[in-house]
Protein backbone atom coordinates (compact mmCIF):
# COMPACT_ATOMS: atom_id res chain seq x y z
CA UNK A 1 0.00 0.00 0.00
CA UNK A 2 1.12 3.53 -0.68
CA UNK A 3 0.51 6.67 1.31
CA UNK A 4 -2.56 8.60 0.21
CA UNK A 5 -2.86 12.32 -0.37
CA UNK A 6 -5.37 14.09 1.87
CA UNK A 7 -6.85 17.54 1.33
CA UNK A 8 -9.05 19.97 3.24
CA UNK A 9 -12.00 18.35 1.43
CA UNK A 10 -11.07 14.68 1.96
CA UNK A 11 -9.30 14.43 5.33
CA UNK A 12 -12.37 14.07 7.55
CA UNK A 13 -13.83 11.46 5.21
CA UNK A 14 -10.56 9.47 5.25
CA UNK A 15 -10.53 9.57 9.06
CA UNK A 16 -14.20 8.55 9.30
CA UNK A 17 -14.04 5.75 6.74
CA UNK A 18 -11.00 3.88 8.12
CA UNK A 19 -10.45 2.31 11.52
CA UNK A 20 -6.83 3.41 11.93
CA UNK A 21 -5.41 6.48 10.14
CA UNK A 22 -2.03 8.14 10.60
CA UNK A 23 -2.02 11.66 9.13
CA UNK A 24 1.26 13.38 8.29
CA UNK A 25 0.91 17.17 8.29
CA UNK A 26 3.85 18.39 6.18
CA UNK A 27 5.12 20.92 3.63
CA UNK A 28 7.58 20.53 0.73
CA UNK A 29 9.99 23.20 2.09
CA UNK A 30 10.31 21.40 5.46
CA UNK A 31 13.56 19.40 5.70
CA UNK A 32 12.42 17.13 8.56
CA UNK A 33 9.18 16.49 6.64
CA UNK A 34 11.21 15.31 3.65
CA UNK A 35 13.19 13.04 5.99
CA UNK A 36 9.89 11.46 7.13
CA UNK A 37 8.64 10.73 3.59
CA UNK A 38 10.59 7.47 3.02
CA UNK A 39 9.78 6.34 6.58
CA UNK A 40 6.07 6.85 5.92
CA UNK A 41 6.29 5.09 2.56
CA UNK A 42 7.89 2.08 4.26
CA UNK A 43 5.32 2.24 7.08
CA UNK A 44 2.48 2.24 4.54
CA UNK A 45 3.97 -0.87 2.95
CA UNK A 46 4.29 -2.63 6.31
CA UNK A 47 0.91 -1.75 7.86
CA UNK A 48 -1.18 -1.16 4.73
CA UNK A 49 -3.73 -3.83 5.67
CA UNK A 50 -4.10 -2.44 9.20
CA UNK A 51 -4.01 1.33 8.68
CA UNK A 52 -4.15 4.18 6.20
CA UNK A 53 -1.16 6.53 6.03
CA UNK A 54 -2.34 9.91 4.75
CA UNK A 55 -0.21 12.96 3.93
CA UNK A 56 -1.64 16.49 4.07
CA UNK A 57 0.33 19.42 2.67
CA UNK A 58 -0.39 22.27 5.13
CA UNK A 59 0.50 24.96 2.58
CA UNK A 60 -2.16 23.68 0.16
CA UNK A 61 -4.69 22.77 2.87
CA UNK A 62 -4.71 25.48 5.55
CA UNK A 63 -8.19 24.69 6.90
CA UNK A 64 -7.28 21.17 8.02
CA UNK A 65 -4.06 22.48 9.57
CA UNK A 66 -6.05 24.99 11.63
CA UNK A 67 -8.80 22.50 12.53
CA UNK A 68 -6.28 20.00 13.90
CA UNK A 69 -4.23 22.72 15.64
CA UNK A 70 -1.00 22.09 13.75
CA UNK A 71 1.63 24.45 15.14
CA UNK A 72 4.79 22.88 13.75
CA UNK A 73 5.65 20.33 11.11
CA UNK A 74 6.09 17.52 10.70
CA UNK A 75 3.21 16.64 13.00
CA UNK A 76 1.68 13.19 12.77
CA UNK A 77 -1.69 12.40 14.31
CA UNK A 78 -3.07 8.92 14.85
CA UNK A 79 -6.84 8.49 14.62
CA UNK A 80 -8.67 5.35 15.71
CA UNK A 81 -12.38 4.99 14.92
CA UNK A 82 -12.49 8.68 14.04
CA UNK A 83 -10.96 9.86 17.33
CA UNK A 84 -7.52 11.41 17.72
CA UNK A 85 -5.45 9.18 20.01
CA UNK A 86 -1.82 10.21 19.64
CA UNK A 87 0.21 13.14 18.31
CA UNK A 88 3.85 12.88 17.25
CA UNK A 89 5.85 16.05 16.62
CA UNK A 90 9.08 16.00 14.64
CA UNK A 91 10.90 13.17 12.93
CA UNK A 92 9.84 9.77 14.29
CA UNK A 93 11.40 6.34 13.92
CA UNK A 94 9.53 3.71 11.91
CA UNK A 95 9.32 1.23 14.79
CA UNK A 96 7.67 3.78 17.11
CA UNK A 97 4.99 4.68 14.57
CA UNK A 98 4.41 1.05 13.65
CA UNK A 99 4.05 0.02 17.31
CA UNK A 100 1.50 2.79 17.89
CA UNK A 101 -0.55 1.66 14.90
CA UNK A 102 -0.34 -2.05 15.64
CA UNK A 103 -1.76 -1.68 19.15
CA UNK A 104 -5.07 -0.77 17.47
CA UNK A 105 -4.91 -3.27 14.62
CA UNK A 106 -7.21 -6.26 14.55
Residues assigned a catalytic role: 30, 33
Sequence-distant (6+) residues with CB within 8 A of 64 are: 6, 7, 8, 11, 25, 56, 58
How many residues are recorded in the chain? Answer: 106
Alpha helices in the chain (DSSP H): 11-17, 31-47, 62-67, 94-102
Amino acid sequence: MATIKATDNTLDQIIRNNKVVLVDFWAPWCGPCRMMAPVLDQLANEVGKEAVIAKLNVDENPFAAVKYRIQGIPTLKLFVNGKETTTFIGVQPLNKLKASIMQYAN
